[in-house]
């Protein structure tokens, strides 16, 4: 449920690090909590995002929530398909439901993220 | 709407306590969800003719016609026991207060449970009361209270509408696509207090029951206050710069 090759934030984003790039999405837990996603607002390519600051908005049938950047850097790709098919986030949060690709500005920031095991423990703790 | 956001803003900063607010509207008003496409879904000319202003919420969900209803809002911050980082848990916490409020009114309401195996909807209805989802307040399977949230890391705002009466004809007037199916769905899935309290009830009694519902369920006592000076200032500012602007309301 929480792929071990990814890093996570406590705000339920995942990051796949490929070289100096970070691919970002939200976790299985987050999509399940939100319910059917109906709308996603993402930044434009070229915009700069800051670690743990809001980079966009996700709306489900239940709530509008902010999305938080797991790392700082420039947005180099955006998953435009989510505009018409936001439900991809529900169906395949770690695959077709990816949101952004960020060029990592400071690799040391990756140390502020948590592992799959830590994330799973964090969720269990939250559910208590 | 500006006041709700001003309360949220102030509560996030710890300037004001968690707040339950009830209000009504000077004129029937159509509030739309954060991401709704107003001109695609509603007949704006008719809304103008009928003098129904349109305002966009920061919360999600679909359109509500604030007419014969009581609007409520709840703002809680992360230090409040009712807050939860889980969307569903937070909904549940608030829904239990509303549920007991309904029961105090003698209305046998239930909380909607998570639909199992529900297919994803690619074409959503523009109207809030035409469908139900988790932890909304239903009577005999029909929606009585519709709610939507805006969540932050440290606080949340939930806004909702408690229907006193329901008139599907008004929706027929203002919807752009006057789909019979949608109107039938609305009738099928919507109820109002009038259906369950035939002798009628005042808004004041509804509000008082909801307050008692929250107090009983959560073991709290509310203090009735006016907004603080800071909240008023922020509300005026938000009204001026956001909620009175077509750029926000129509996303122009």
Q: Given CA atoms B120, B124, B125, B126 in this order, what sign does their dihedral have? A: positive
Contact B185, B131 (CB under 8 A): yes
Its CATH class, for the domain covering B2-114+126-221, is: alpha beta
Work out the minimum CA distance from B135 to partner chain A, whole angstroms: 10
- Given a cut of 90, whether residue B182 has pLDDT beyond it is no
A62–B87 CB contact, under 8 Å: yes
The pLDDT-based confidence of B114 (bands split at 50, 70, 90) is low
**Inter-axis angle of helices B87-104 and B203-218, to 10 degrees?**
120
Q: What does the alpha-carbon distance between residue B149 and residue B88 come to, in Å, rounded to a whole number?
A: 11
What's the whole-number mean pLDDT along residues A37-49?
95
Range of the domain at A48: 7-127
Q: What is the CATH number of the domain that holds A79?
A: 2.40.50.100
Residues from chain B contacting residue A11 (CB–CB below 8 Å) = 153
The pLDDT of residue B121: 42
Name the least confident of B82-86, B122-126, B181-185, B217-221.
B122-126
% pLDDT > 70, chain A: 98
Work out the minimum CA distance from B146 to partner chain A, whole angstroms: 11
- Given a cut of 60, whether residue B123 has pLDDT beyond it is no
- Given a cut of 80, whether residue B78 has pLDDT beyond it is yes
Query: What digits encode the pLDDT tens for the residues B45-64?
Result: 999 999 999 999 999 988 99
Query: What digits encode the pLDDT tens for the residues B230-242?
Result: 999 999 999 999 9
- Given a cut of 90, whether residue A78 has pLDDT beyond it is yes
Specify the DSSP element, H or E, that contains B139. Answer: strand B137-139
**Burial (Cβ within 10 Å: 0-12, 13-18, ≥19) of residue B4:** buried
Q: How many CB atoms lie within 10 A of CB B46?
A: 14
The pLDDT-based confidence of B124 (bands split at 50, 70, 90) is low
How many separate domains does chain A show?
1
User: What is the gyration radius of the CA atoms in chain B, in angstroms?
Assistant: 18
Q: How many CA atoms lie within 13 A of A43 on its CB side?
A: 23
Residue A26 lies in a domain: yes
Contact B148, B56 (CB under 8 A): no
A33–B151 CB contact, under 8 Å: no
Query: What digits encode the pLDDT tens for the residues A57-73?
Result: 999 877 899 999 999 99
What's the whole-number mean pLDDT along residues B199-226?
96
**Burial (Cβ within 10 Å: 0-12, 13-18, ≥19) of residue B33:** buried
What's the whole-number mean pLDDT along residues A41-68?
93
Q: Tell me, yes or no, if A34 comes closer than 8 A to chain B by beta carbon.
A: yes
Residues of B with CB under 8 A from a CB of A: 33-35, 58-61, 85-88, 91, 120-122, 124, 133-134, 148-153, 156
A62–B35 CB contact, under 8 Å: no
Residue in B closest to A11 by C-alpha = B153
- Given a cut of 90, whether residue A128 has pLDDT beyond it is no
What's the whole-number mean pLDDT along residues B194-206?
95
Residue A1 lies in a domain: no
Residue A72 lies in a domain: yes
What's the whole-number mean pLDDT along residues A85-96?
96
- Given a cut of 60, whether residue B118 has pLDDT beyond it is no
Work out the minimum CA distance from A77 to partner chain B, whole angstroms: 23
Smallest CA-to-CA distance from B54 within B126, B154, B103, B135 is with B126
- Given a cut of 60, whether residue A116 has pLDDT beyond it is yes
Query: What digits encode the pLDDT tens for the residues B15-40?
Result: 999 999 999 999 999 999 999 999 99
The pLDDT of residue B152: 87
The pLDDT-based confidence of B84 (bands split at 50, 70, 90) is confident
Q: How many CB atoms lie within 10 A of CB B192?
A: 20
B128 is catalytic: yes
What are the extents of the domains in chain B? Answer: 2-114+126-221
B124–A35 CB contact, under 8 Å: no
């Amino acid at each position: 449920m929480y792929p071990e090759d990814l890093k996570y934030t406590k705000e339920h984003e995942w990051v796949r690090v490929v070289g100096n790039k970070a691919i970002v999405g939200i976790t299985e837990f987050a999509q399940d909590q939100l319910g059917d996603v109906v709308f996603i607002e993402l930044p434009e390519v070229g915009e700069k995002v800051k670690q743990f600051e809001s980079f966009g908005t996700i709306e489900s049938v239940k709530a509008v929530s902010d999305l938080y950047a797991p790392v700082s850097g420039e947005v180099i790709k955006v998953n435009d398909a989510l505009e018409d098919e936001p439900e991809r986030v529900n169906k395949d949060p770690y695959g077709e439901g990816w949101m952004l690709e960020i060029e990592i500005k400071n690799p040391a920031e990756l140390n502020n993220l948590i592992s799959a095991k830590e994330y799973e423990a964090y969720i269990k703790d939250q559910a208590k | 709407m500006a006041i709700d956001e001003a309360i949220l803003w102030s509560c996030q900063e710890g300037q004001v306590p968690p707040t339950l607010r009830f209000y009504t509207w000077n004129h029937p008003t159509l509030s739309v969800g954060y991401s709704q496409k107003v001109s695609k879904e509603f007949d704006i000319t008719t809304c103008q003719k009928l003098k129904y202003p349109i305002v966009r919420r920061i919360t999600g969900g679909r359109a509500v016609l604030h007419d014969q209803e009581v609007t409520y809002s709840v703002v809680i911050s992360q230090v409040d026991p009712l807050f939860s980082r889980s969307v569903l848990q937070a909904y549940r916490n608030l829904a239990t207060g509303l549920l007991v409020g309904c029961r105090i009114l003698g209305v046998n309401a239930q909380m909607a449970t998570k639909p199992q195996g529900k297919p994803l909807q690619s074409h959503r209805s523009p109207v809030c009361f035409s469908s139900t989802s988790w932890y909304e307040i239903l009577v005999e399977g029909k929606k009585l209270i519709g709610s939507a949230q805006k969540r932050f890391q440290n606080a949340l705002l939930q806004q909702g509408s408690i229907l006193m009466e329901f008139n599907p004809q008004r929706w027929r007037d203002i919807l752009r696509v006057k789909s019979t199916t949608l109107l039938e769905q609305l009738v099928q899935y919507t109820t109002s207090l009038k259906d369950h309290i035939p002798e009628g009830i005042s808004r004041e009694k509804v509000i008082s029951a909801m307050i008692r519902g929250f107090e009983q369920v959560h073991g709290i006592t509310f203090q009735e206050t006016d907004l603080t000076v800071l909240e008023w200032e922020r509300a005026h500012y938000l009204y001026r710069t956001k909620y009175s602007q077509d750029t926000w309301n129509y996303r122009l």
